Amino acid sequence: MSHSDPAGERADVPGGDPLAPADIPDDSVLLTARGIRKSFGDNEVLRSIDLEVRRGEVVVLIGPSGSGKTTVLRSLNGLETPDAGTIDFEGGPSLDFAAPIAKATRFALRDRSAMVFQQHNLFPHMTVIENVIEGRVRVQRVPKKQAIAEASALLERVGLAEKRDAYPFELSGGQQQRVGIVRALALKPQLLLFDEPTSALDPELVGEVLQVIKELADEGWTMVVVTHELSFARQAADEVLFMDGGVVVERGAPAQIFTKPAEERTRRFLDRILRPLD
């Protein structure tokens, strides 16, 4: 019975902050990806990517367009199937893409993480609350009453309580994106994946969304974030990876990457973004 869903239980601790992660941020390794390769036709998009994410850690991916950032996230979320490499979640599942992946395994992978897209991708035919509880009720089979209670708490927390019955088109870009984040949180995943969550927003709306993501980071959520908002990376990231041409060119603490990047390519990229006019 769905009541015995552990994630469900944990979040029901009375008085618990709804934004708090289901997963305890204890610094143990949550995810290990090794030698991830992916080609589309003869376009080799990922050439052996290695990635390790610890519980409670915030990893930021930066890099030029086409470097493979989105493809990495999609691979971790099981939306894309790499040609080679392994992805291991502590506590399972553990996938080796040398062999074809069983359907059940892919679903298991998907359940571990939840993705927030650049274009929010809210369901236009559902109200805000319906968007948020959909996965919880239809997939995780949590009783609707409970799902609504949880969802309301989350919306409350990101300041969208009064929008619960609005349709997506009635929201501003920033509000839509925040609902997108809540929809991901509602599933109580162990890992949050953000793909340029603010790059489709009007500049003055970027702040409200980054704020929420930063709070989640502070609450101890484990997340991988693709973003061009270097100020965010500087403040929130534990580790920054710079990707180019399908490889991780450089990785390290934000302070190091942004102040004295080891690689020329990294420097040039940062310059283009920070000082576009010279």
Ligand X SMILES: Nc1ncnc2c1ncn2[C@@H]1O[C@H](COP(=O)(O)OP(=O)(O)OP(=O)(O)O)[C@@H](O)[C@H]1O
Instruction: List residues near a copy of itself by CB under 8 A.
Output: 64-65, 199, 202-207, 210-211, 214, 228-229, 231-232, 235, 269, 272-273, 275-277
Q: Which does 214 bind (CB under 5 to 8 A by kind): other proteins, ligand X, a copy of itself, none?
A: a copy of itself
For position 202 contacting ligand X by CB under 6 A, the verdict is: yes
For position 71 contacting ligand X by CB under 6 A, the verdict is: yes
Residue nearest to Mg ion (CB): 70
Tokens standing for residue 68 = 């493979």
CB closer to other proteins out of 28 and 119 = 119
Q: Give me the 48-67 binding string for ligand X, x by CB under 6 A, dash otherwise.
A: ---------------x-xxx
Q: How far is the CB of 244 from Mg ion (least distance, A)?
A: 13
CA torsion 96-98-102-108 (nearest 10°) is 20
Q: Which does 184 bind (CB under 5 to 8 A by kind): other proteins, Mg ion, a copy of itself, none?
A: other proteins
Contact 237, 227 (CB under 8 A): no
Contact 47, 24 (CB under 8 A): no
Region binding ligand X by CB under 6 A among candidate stretches 24-32, 37-45, 247-255, 270-278: 37-45
* 149 burial type by CB count under 10 A (0-12 exposed, 13-18 middle, 19+ buried): middle
For position 68 contacting ligand X by CB under 6 A, the verdict is: yes
| Residue environment code for 26-42, b if the CB has 16+ CB neighbours within 10 A, otherwise e | eeeebbbbeebbbeeee
Q: Which does 65 bind (CB under 5 to 8 A by kind): other proteins, Mg ion, ligand X, none?
A: ligand X
Binding positions for ligand X, rule: CB under 6 A: 40, 43, 45, 63, 65-71, 202
